[in-house]
Structure 1
Amino acid sequence: MTVKLGVNIDHIATIREARKIREPDPVAAAIIAELAGCHGIVAHLREDKRHIQDRDLKLLRGTVATKLDLQISTNPEMVQFAINVQPDMVTLVPENSQEITTEAGMNVAAKIDEISKIVMTLKNNDIATCVFIDPETEQVKAAKKVGADFVEFNTARYATACDLGSIQEVNREISSIQDMTVLAKKYGLRIIAGHGLNYRNVEPIAAIEGIEELNIGHSIVARAALVGLENAVKEMLDIIRRATP
C-alpha cells in the first residue's frame, strides 16, 4: 500500500503573516500541492492565530478536493469552529503559546474524559478524529479509550536523533514507532506520522508497515523556496513511494 502524503501549509501562512499582507496565499498553495499529487492538506489553526487564520480554513473547505485535516487544541471555541467549517478530519494537538512549534504529543491519558467528549462531539458532526501523540503504549491505549479514529505519531524524537547522527537513538525511535503501529492496529486505530520529517529522514518512517499517511510541512515549504512548491511536493512523493513496503 502506498503511503499517502499530507502537506501542511502552515508555513506558507507564516511567511504571509511576517508582513501581514495577502501573499503567499495558503489556499493557492493547497491547490498547487494537490495538483502535484499530494493526498491531503493539513492546517493548524492555533489559538493565537500566528499563521493560519479563520478565513483561510473557510476558503480551504471550499477548495480542497482531497482531504482537509484541521489541527486544533481542545479549546471549546476551536472545537466549535471545526464543527462550523466541517473539515474531513480534526487532529487534536497540544498548544503552548511560548513554543515555536508543537513540542510534544498530547497527553491523552491524562485527559480521558475531556477528550472523549470532544471526540464524540466531532463524530456526531460527521468529522473523523485523530489525536497527535508520542509513540508510547499508554498514549495509544488512551487514544483507543477516547474513541479516536486515527493516531498521528509524533516523529520529533526520531527527527532530532537523525539530526544528531545518533544511530542507536535513531534505531530506538524507529523500533518504538514500529511497535506502537502494531499496537494501534491491534486496537483498530489507523496510523499517521509526522513532525520534523524531511527529505533526508523520511524513508525509514515511510517504510513502516501500517502507517497510512505522513504529514509534512516545514521541509516541503523550505524546499519550495528553492525549487517551487510543485517540484517540492513531487520530490517528497517520489521518496515516499520508493520507501513504501
Structure 2
Amino acid sequence: MSRLGVNIDHVATVREARKTNEPDPVWAATLAELGGADGITLHLREDRRHIQDRDVRIMIETVAVPTNLELATAEDVLAIACELRPSQATLVPERREEVTTEGGLDVVGQQDKVAAAVGRLQDAGIVVSLFLDPDPQQIEAGLATGAQAIELHTGAYAHASAKGPASDQFAELERAAKQIRDAGILLNAGHGLTYRNVRPVAQIEGMYELNIGHSIIARAIMVGLEQAVRDMKRLVSQ
C-alpha cells in the first residue's frame, strides 16, 4: 500500500496572491493530517513565491507526520534545511520562469554538486530523495550520489493520460521503478497525478510514497481539504 504525501504549496500560492496571512498552509497541513495524509510536502523555492521560511519552521515543529522539504541545491535553502531538519529533503530543479517544477533534476550534468548536497543533508540527519525523470542514465547517476530514495517525475505520464491511453509513458515508469527497486532504495513518485490517473502509479510494485498537491488542493476548494485528502488516500490505498 502506497503512502500519500500531500503537497500544500498551492495553499500558500493563494495567500501570496494578496500577501496576507490567509489561508495558512500550516493550518492546511493539520487538515491534511486529519484527512489521513501520511506526510506533508512543501517546496521552499529560491524566489519564495509560495512557501516562506516561517511556514517551514512552524510545520516541522508542529505536524505529527513526516515532513518532506523540496529544495534546489542552492546554498541558502540547503542551510535552512540543515538547520530545521525535516524528515526528508527532496532535491529538485528550479527555473525562475517556470510556473511549477518542470522535469527532473539533471544529476548527470552536475553529479558532484548533487552528491555534495546529498552528503551535506545526510550529515544533518535528513533522509535524501532525488526528483528524477524515468531516464536510466539519470537514475544511475542518482544512485551514485548515495541518496536513500528516488522520486520519479510522472509529468509525461500525467500529460499523456489526460488525452488518452498513456501506455508508453507508464511502461517507462515501470522500467525506472524496477531499476530503483533493484538498487534497494525507496521508490517514490509525483507530479501531475490526479484522482483519475493515480491508481496505476500507486499499484507499481514497490511504490512507497506518492506526493500529490495541485489536484488535492483543487478538489479541496469544492469539498474541503480533509475530504479531498480522504478521497485521494482511498485511491492510493486500494
Counterpart selection for 1:188 from 181, 184, 195: 184
- In structure 1, how many angstroms separate the alpha carbons of the residues matched to 2:130 and 2:63? 22
Deviation at 1:224, TM superposition (A): 0.1
Shift in Å, 1:64: 1.4
Amino acid corresponding to residue 210 of structure 2 in structure 1:
L
Q: 1:231 aligns with which of 215, 227, 234?
A: 227
**2: CA distance between counterparts of 1:28 and 1:44?**
16
Report the secondary structure of 1:235's partner residue: helix
Aligned to 1:61: 60
Residues 5-63 of structure 1, C-alpha deviation per residue, up to 9 Å, x if partnerless? Answer: 00000000001111111111000000110111110000000000000000000000111
Give the distance between the partners of 2:115 and 2:95, measured in 1 at CA.
Answer: 21
TM superposition shift of 1:240: 1.2
Which residue matches 1:107? 106
Report deviation, 1:123: 0.8
Q: 2:26 & 2:134 partners in 1: Cα distance? A: 31
Q: 2: distance between equivalents of 1:208 and 1:9?
A: 25
| CA distances 1:71-98 after superposition (whole Å, capped 9, x unpaired) | 0011011101100111011100000000
Letter in 1 for 2:229: V
> Counterpart of 1:120?
119
Tell me, in whole angstroms, the C-alpha distance in 2 between the residues paired with 1:50 and 1:133. 23
Show CA shifts across 1:221-244 (max 9, x none): 0000000000000000111122xx
Aligned length: 238
Q: What is the root-mean-square deviation in Å for CA atoms of aligned residues?
A: 0.7
Q: Are 1:32 and 2:31 matched, yes or no?
A: yes
Runs of 5+ in structure 2 lacking a partner? none
The one-letter code of the counterpart of 1:75 is A
Partner of 2:96: 97
The ranges of structure 1 where at least 4 consecutive aligned residues each deviate by more than 6 angstroms after the TM superposition are none
Q: What runs of 5+ residues in structure 1 fail to find an aligned partner? A: none
- The aligned counterpart of 1:44 is 43
* TM-score normalised per structure 1: 0.96
**What are the within-5 Å matches in structure 2 for residues 91-240 of structure 1?**
91-165=90-164, 167=165, 170-240=166-236
| Identity between Structure 1 and Structure 2 (%) | 45
SS at match of 1:180: helix
